[in-house]
Structure 1
């Protein structure tokens, strides 16, 4: 072991091994730092600023680590140098002790041996100094080359790491820009869809508002019409005119012009709203419009007290009786009108109230031959009257129809005779056509036999013989 310790090459190899271990440790730390950098970059892939900050911190950390590693290597080299110097000093001391012992052992020898030994010692000292200088120079050169190689490797590693980090940062920037473009396009698409839906909603809202305005306008017109109708119905003469207008409209729409007369004056001087000219046995029916509305409203007003409503109901019955009596006395004239007259009530509610809750009024009207009619029942009565007029017109023309039917019967007899003669001619023509077809077939057969040269053996037919005769 002392021989290895005394050999300078052993220390050089040990120093190189230590440098190699230090280089391996630096590379391992660098790989750990790179792996840590990669993990940090992946974890912070969505933050470009954080990556830059991490890059700066990692560069500082790598620079610090490299500086610390260089300092550690320098400390180790200094320690190795100090150990080498200690070993060399120990080697000198050992050599000096050996030289002293040798001098003591050879002191008794001859001077020549002492001289030779001194020369050898000088040569050994020179050789040792030379070897030590060469070893020190080689050691320094090896350390310089190792440090230079380590520096180049570190610089190359840093450059490759910087390139990799730059490429990854570029990829990250590209992917971030692409994602931003995708997000921007999606946001723009959604904004456009939202704008379209908003515009469609606004269009529908405007359409609904237009409809609401139209409905509001119609409601306003209807309310104005209702107010006008209320003003008309509040006046007695206006109510009478309203009933007459409604009656005139019904009659004009259903009956022919010659079958009625409006504002017709009778022989007793009374003027009726309408007279229907119907055929016998019905005769002329007078129709007069009555609209007992005031007492009906008071009778049906739920806000009034019960006593007021009962009084209004009594007055309403009195109004109806008075109208029935007036129509029966004025508009039923013997030999001029029918035995009954009609009272036209232009309100279905009033007509329904009379028939539903006042049967005594209906019975009294029946006894006085006054027929109550509402707009609905009046329409049915007028339709029936029109059918009766049509039937009467048909009966009046029955003689003319009978005469034309007799003419039609004679014409049909002549037509039948002529058709019979025509059918006989058609049957005769059919027989002639059949006989002509038979002759044509026989002539064709004879021509066929002529073509086949069989004329000699062919007997003459009875028809051909008759034709020759």
Structure 2
């Protein structure tokens, strides 16, 4: 506070000195200006009064300036004294401030030391309390963990036992399946032998022809009635066809012949053959198929004996697909001469259609029998209607009779009720007479 007052006093004195200096400068400037204007007026128009006035102004200027300089010197001296006094005062105040600051620091240090001791004590107590709580929680967690471990151990034992049982059952099942696999392996071995024998069969042209005929016969026997086909049938031109479907006269009999062009197809698909060999095999394959088509068209389409078309049965689905995918000109050529190419799958559709035709023909042959049965059924229904009308009349008459019988029964019941009431009234009268008082004297 003292330092602030000292500094404020120094500032005020400094401002006063500056204000005095400024005032002196302004007065000096004003007097100089006045003196200059008066001198100029005297020079323009010399006048003793103005000269006297000029002299008085000059003297007054010197007097004012002297007094101002004296005042400034006094203020500077006063300022020096005040500055010295203020310097001494500041030194004393600094020493006092340093002493007070040192005492304050010592007091703060003592308070800090005391506070640190209390904080250390509180921290020690808090740590001890936390240690106790942590110990209790650890004990509880240990107990909970032990219980959980016991439960887990029990569940693990249970699941292990179940797993052992399932493993045992699975192992037994695996043993059974291994036995089945062993049997399947034996069957595969046998099948491999059959495949080898099948390859040997397919290697020979006659064997391939027999294989196709057997497959054709199996399909036809499974799909068609027994009296609707003939195998190795001899036609009117003395040619023998593998199968002849005996269909109604409207469509005619259909000849089915089996063809198995395997040699050229194998060369076409053999990866070991070069490109030239494959191209040669493709040409030969096309020639073989076309030859088979025209052989069937010329041999098995006989006007008046067979239908207007014949069927070429190809036992291998792969060969059938190859023809339709890459040799569609052969398919068109076959359709032009009315030879229909079929595989085992498409032959099923042809046979299904033929069976439907046979069934439809048999149905048409039995139409007159169905009409006779319908007429007889109509006559029976007419008689049934007449008898039903008679029965309805009898039922109506019986209903009327039952109603009249019910009326008679109600009347009879009513009369019986009246008779019972009369008998009851007579019995009451007799009882009253028997209980009347005796008037005769004793």
Range class of TM-score, shorter chain: 0.5 to 0.7
The aligned counterpart of 2:392 is 423
Distance of aligned partners of 1:404 and 1:206 in 2 relative to their CA distance in 1, 3 Å threshold? closer
Distance of aligned partners of 1:198 and 1:326 in 2 relative to their CA distance in 1, 3 Å threshold? closer
The aligned counterpart of 1:450 is 419
Q: Secondary structure at the match of 1:452?
A: helix
In the superposition, the TM-score normalised over structure 2's length comes to: 0.57
Q: Map residues 73-88 of structure 1 onto 2, 5 A cutoff.
A: none
Mapped to 2, the partners of 1:404 and 1:310 lie a distance apart of 68
Mapped to 2, the partners of 1:328 and 1:291 lie a distance apart of 17
Mapped to 1, the partners of 2:292 and 2:214 lie a distance apart of 19
Deviation string 1:213-245 (CA, Å, 9 cap, x unpaired) is 222212211211211111111111111111111
The aligned counterpart of 2:216 is 247
Q: Map residues 93-112 of structure 1 onto 2, 5 A cutoff.
A: none
Q: Map residues 371-386 of structure 1 onto 2, 5 A cutoff.
A: 371-386=340-355
In the superposition, the TM-score normalised over structure 1's length comes to: 0.53
- Answer yes or no: is 1:258 the counterpart of 2:207: no
Q: Residue 326 of structure 1: which of 289, 295, 301 is its match? A: 295
Computed over aligned residues only, the root mean square deviation of the Cα atoms, in angstroms, reads 2.7
The aligned counterpart of 2:193 is 224
The aligned counterpart of 2:322 is 353
- Answer yes or no: is 1:304 the counterpart of 2:238: no
| Structure 1 segments (4+ residues) deviating >4 Å | 192-205
Q: Map residues 113-132 of structure 1 onto 2, 5 A cutoff.
A: none
The aligned counterpart of 1:414 is 383
Deviation string 1:385-440 (CA, Å, 9 cap, x unpaired) is 11111111111111222122212212211121111111111111111112212221
The aligned counterpart of 1:287 is 256
Mapped to 2, the partners of 1:198 and 1:445 lie a distance apart of 90
Q: Secondary structure at the match of 1:264?
A: strand
Mapped to 2, the partners of 1:197 and 1:392 lie a distance apart of 63
Q: 1:441 deviation in Å?
A: 1.9
Q: Secondary structure at the match of 1:335?
A: coil
Q: 1:254 deviation in Å?
A: 1.3
Q: How many residues align?
A: 267
The aligned counterpart of 2:369 is 400
Distance of aligned partners of 1:317 and 1:395 in 2 relative to their CA distance in 1, 3 Å threshold? same
Deviation string 1:273-319 (CA, Å, 9 cap, x unpaired) is 11011113211000101111111111112232222112111111111
Distance of aligned partners of 1:237 and 1:437 in 2 relative to their CA distance in 1, 3 Å threshold? same
The aligned counterpart of 1:389 is 358
Q: Secondary structure at the match of 2:396?
A: helix
Q: 1:206 deviation in Å?
A: 3.7
Mapped to 2, the partners of 1:427 and 1:397 lie a distance apart of 45
Distance of aligned partners of 1:439 and 1:199 in 2 relative to their CA distance in 1, 3 Å threshold? closer
The aligned counterpart of 1:210 is 179
Q: Map residues 158-169 of structure 1 onto 2, 5 A cutoff.
A: none
Q: Give unmatched runs, 5+ long, in structure 2.
A: 1-160, 425-442
Q: Residue 342 of structure 1: which of 286, 292, 311 is its match? A: 311
